[in-house]
Structure 1
Amino acid sequence: MTTSKGTGTPSGPTSSTAAFAEPTQDVGKKWIFAVILVNVGINTSFFGPIQVLLGQQAIAFNEEGKEGILALVTGAGAAVSLVANPLFGTFSDRSISRFGRRVPWVFIGALLGTIGLLGLTVAPTVAAMMLLWCLVQLGCNGALAAITAAVPDQAPVHQRGTIGGLASMGTVIGILLGAAVGAVVAGNFALGYVLCAVALVAGMVPYLFYSNDIVLRKEDRPPFTWPAFVKGFWISPRLYPDFAWAWITRFLVNVGNHMVTLYLLFFLRDAVGFENPEFGVLILTGIYAILTLVTAVIGGRWTDKVGRRKPFVIGSSAIIALAALILAFAPTWTGALVGAAVLGIGYGAYLAVDFALLTQVLPHAESRGKDLGVINVANSLPQVIAPLIAWPLVTILGGYVTLYVAAAIIGLLGAVFVVKIKGVD
């Protein structure tokens, strides 16, 4: 595979053999940097709203019903993402644009997400808020599916742990920027949405110039039939057990993680009694982000060096569960600081190493986008499930202690099931 070192024109091979083959040539720094920036933009647009802005808007609509509004809006958006990820991944697998397979969908996804974010600034009702957040999820998950598939398209296996760690930097920086936006706008959630939209567009632009995306010729594109298209979204656990166990592991860890972070603003406000909860979210996210960046890079390089993935996934999942227990039994500002630090240590290593593991259990090279889209459902579905679990736990069944203990148990199950994967050490 040829690598563009600084041009904006796709220069990769144009044959389907190259498009579907395992890459062997290392990718360059400009490409990696561009991938990181896309992740920064997408995750700022995800987590700025999820961590602070949607909560502020829910309070503006109905102070007493804020938990239910936030659960409804985030759950509906996550339901859309369940479809968007594999669907956009499939579209990108089959795209024959002269710009490559993945670039058009990064662009289209970012455009839709930007429209949704700007629309949220003037949403007049909860229903409008929900629909516009669904549009944000549709677009951003479409872009995410495409950029995720670009990694196994172009990066060889021995680079994927490192790239997974560096791409995780984009994720964490996006989370931190999202929290910063929430704190800086000081309750002006409309301005916050505008800043998230700017971050989304700015993060996409460099990838358009340095993508080196592989072009698929029309004659090499697999034939299309509707039955095969629909059937393709089902990946048999019997035929591909490693893929199934990897999916279940990621699903469980993410359910636990979303349960921890969903009500963080309300946790600081109502349980800890922190005077400025938006600023508190920023501080906790900053601690989490710094440690996630460190452990993502270290963990990614370490797993590439030793050639093993599972021990890192197991260990990091257990550390994430420990963070939830700290929040459960130390609902103080000090406890929150320690919990954020522990969560960052665990989640950074998890993001880097689990991504590398997943790229090694994909069933088919010609459908990487679709298969990773199915994997990304394990990121999106927890956003639907977690609010449904968290809301009754907080409001009816014991409050935040019950919530965080349940999150820890669910996350630990992910560590247990990763041992079932046989094809990866």
Structure 2
Amino acid sequence: MTADRPAEPLAGGGSGCDGSGCGDAGGRAVGGRAVGAAWVGALALANLGVWVGWFGPLQLLLARQAELLAPDHKASVLALVTGAGAAVSMVSNPVFGALSDRTTARAGRRIPWVAGGVAGGAAGLLLLGRASSTAAVTAGWCLVQLALNAAFAALTAAVPDQVPVRQRGLVGGWLGVSQVAGILLGTALAAGAGTVAAGYAACAASAVLCALPYLLMRRDTRLAPADRPAFRLRDIPAGLRIDPRRNPDFGWAWLTRFLMNLSYSVSTMYLLYYLTDAVHYRGDADEGVLVLTALNACTLLATVVLGGIRSDRTGRRKAYVIGSGLVISAATLLLAAWQTWTGAIVASLVLGAGFGVYTSVDFALLTDVLPTAEDHGRDLGIINIANALPQVLAPVIAAPVVARLGGYPALYLLAALLALAGSVLVRRIRSVP
């Protein structure tokens, strides 16, 4: 591995050639020097901080606030808050990605957005800790989503910017490790802080501290002002459209990721209520969620880097994505059919194993089908709509299913069918083996 280095200019014409590999017509970094372990570690740590900022609230804190504000309508309040935040996320991620593609700061294209996004996200988390109404919680969560998506868009775009194709699975694996570690740490901070306000403060501090090594390393690609692509705000809606006729593989990759994330959102958004209302967990439900998250993390960590490495070595992506999707579908079927604490434990272990492989290999697959080298941030932002849109749709779908269409067995059967569809449709991607 090579030594890490500070920001380097892009070659003329915005070609995406930056010393760690040049982008081809499809946006891939071809050949080039391998990225160093220190940079990968700092990138993963910064990513971990973003996920702490998201999932401490999503796993426990927002649900507890909804329960305190409206105990008789907690599910509806939670759906309102998370749905509004996800809508903000869905729009802001590709917009900030496009802005970072065109940033000409001396520090680089991505680093300024990481710094500003993490700072804004921390401020939003602290405001959430003081919120005392549904409107205030909704506004605070939207601010957190807006800011952290700026950071996340820049962090993910750094991978196709600087990582050659032969390392994408490996880097995707470590990003997967940081994702699950962030979810676990965020859940632990939320459960162990004592109060909702203290939980938000702990998540805010973690997000800032985790970003510091990446920011201090100052390794980024730099864009000369003369090479900056044109950008007008009124062009944003057109830029966010996917044309499946021109880029069919990009379209299929988006759809399959959307289906898998919708399955995951349907499965996890009501996990706290699943334990209390279906499993009738006898202990502290917060601790129960933490235990299940930790078990999920154990099997995910056991498979996420290994799956990425195996995919890099074989040069194959689709088989790993399809197989992992089938495992995820099996895990959600367990939650539907075996509504006991033991069943929840087994399902969490199986779910982690499936998502470990899926997280690393599908990320590598996505970076392999990006349409252009000049718009990595925007294109990955469009892909990230497939992460955010399910958070908007999941409560709309889940609430009536739980209340009127069969309860939790029907909810987790639906999650299994969504994961199965996402797995099968991966076969439609032609340019990736």
Task: Indicate the TM-score class for this superposition, using the shorter chain for normalisation.
Answer: over 0.9
1:412 counterpart residue number: 420
CA distance in 1, matches of 2:407, 2:237: 41
1:345 counterpart residue number: 353
CA distance in 2, matches of 1:240, 1:317: 23
Q: Which amino acid aligns with 2:302?
A: V
Return closer, same or farther for 1:85/1:128 CA change in 2, 3 Å cut-off.
same
1:265 has 2:272 as partner: yes
CA distance in 2, matches of 1:54, 1:424: 39
1:393 has 2:401 as partner: yes
| Residues 371-419 of structure 1, C-alpha deviations (whole Å, 9 max, x = no match) | 0000000000000011111111112222111110111111111011100
Aligned pairs for 1:233-248 (under 5 A) are 233-248=240-255
Using structure 2 for the length normalisation, give the TM-score: 0.94
Instruction: Report how far residue 229 of structure 1 moved.
Output: 4.2
Q: Which amino acid aligns with 1:83?
A: V
Q: Which amino acid aligns with 2:332?
A: A
Return closer, same or farther for 1:44/1:133 CA change in 2, 3 Å cut-off.
same
1:97 has 2:94 as partner: no
SS in 2 for 1:237: coil
| Residues 184-229 of structure 1, C-alpha deviations (whole Å, 9 max, x = no match) | 124x111100011011101111111224101100011123345544
| Residues 45-71 of structure 1, C-alpha deviations (whole Å, 9 max, x = no match) | 111110111111111111111111111
Q: 2:335 aligns with which of 327, 334, 352?
A: 327
1:139 counterpart residue number: 147
Q: Is the 8 A contact 2:9 2:223 kept in 1?
A: no
Q: 1:166 aligns with which of 160, 163, 174?
A: 174
Q: Is the 8 A contact 2:371 2:379 kept in 1?
A: yes
Q: Is the 8 A contact 2:193 2:202 kept in 1?
A: no
Q: 1:220 aligns with which of 218, 224, 227?
A: 227
The runs of 5 or more residues in structure 2 that have no matched partner are 24-28
CA distance in 2, matches of 1:296, 1:245: 23
SS in 2 for 1:365: coil
2:80 counterpart residue number: 72
1:84 has 2:92 as partner: yes
CA distance in 2, matches of 1:68, 1:288: 27
Q: Is the 8 A contact 1:268 1:280 kept in 2?
A: yes
Q: 2:7 aligns with which of 5, 10, 16?
A: 10
| Residues 289-327 of structure 1, C-alpha deviations (whole Å, 9 max, x = no match) | 111111101100000010000011111111111111101
Instruction: Report how far residue 179 of structure 1 moved.
Output: 1.5
| Residues 92-151 of structure 1, C-alpha deviations (whole Å, 9 max, x = no match) | 000000000000111111111111100001102001101100110111111111100000
CA distance in 1, matches of 2:271, 2:243: 37
Instruction: Report how far residue 266 of structure 1 moved.
Output: 0.9
Q: Is the 8 A contact 1:31 1:211 kept in 2?
A: no
Q: 1:191 aligns with which of 190, 194, 198?
A: 198
Q: Is the 8 A contact 1:162 1:301 kept in 2?
A: yes
1:26 counterpart residue number: 34
SS in 2 for 1:224: coil
SS in 2 for 1:385: helix
Instruction: Report how far residue 252 of structure 1 moved.
Output: 0.1
Q: Which amino acid aligns with 2:59?
A: Q
Q: Is the 8 A contact 2:9 2:224 kept in 1?
A: no
| Residues 9-59 of structure 1, C-alpha deviations (whole Å, 9 max, x = no match) | 425656544246325110001110011111110111111110111111111
Q: 1:378 aligns with which of 386, 402, 410?
A: 386
CA distance in 2, matches of 1:283, 1:311: 31
SS in 1 for 2:39: helix
CA distance in 2, matches of 1:205, 1:182: 22
CA distance in 2, matches of 1:220, 1:360: 24
1:250 has 2:257 as partner: yes
CA distance in 1, matches of 2:53, 2:380: 21
CA distance in 2, matches of 1:140, 1:390: 26
1:39 has 2:19 as partner: no
Q: Is the 8 A contact 1:303 1:309 kept in 2?
A: yes
Q: Which amino acid aligns with 1:191?
A: A
CA distance in 2, matches of 1:74, 1:226: 26
Q: Is the 8 A contact 1:3 1:11 kept in 2?
A: no
2:215 counterpart residue number: 208
Instruction: Report how far residue 231 of structure 1 moved.
Output: 2.0
Same amino acid, percent of matched pairs? 48
The runs of 5 or more residues in structure 1 that have no matched partner are none
Instruction: Report how far residue 234 of structure 1 moved.
Output: 1.6
Q: Which amino acid aligns with 2:7?
A: P
CA distance in 1, matches of 2:236, 2:335: 44
CA RMSD of aligned residues (A): 1.5
Return closer, same or farther for 1:82/1:325 CA change in 2, 3 Å cut-off.
same
Count residues in correspondence. 421
SS in 2 for 1:65: helix
CA distance in 1, matches of 2:388, 2:44: 20
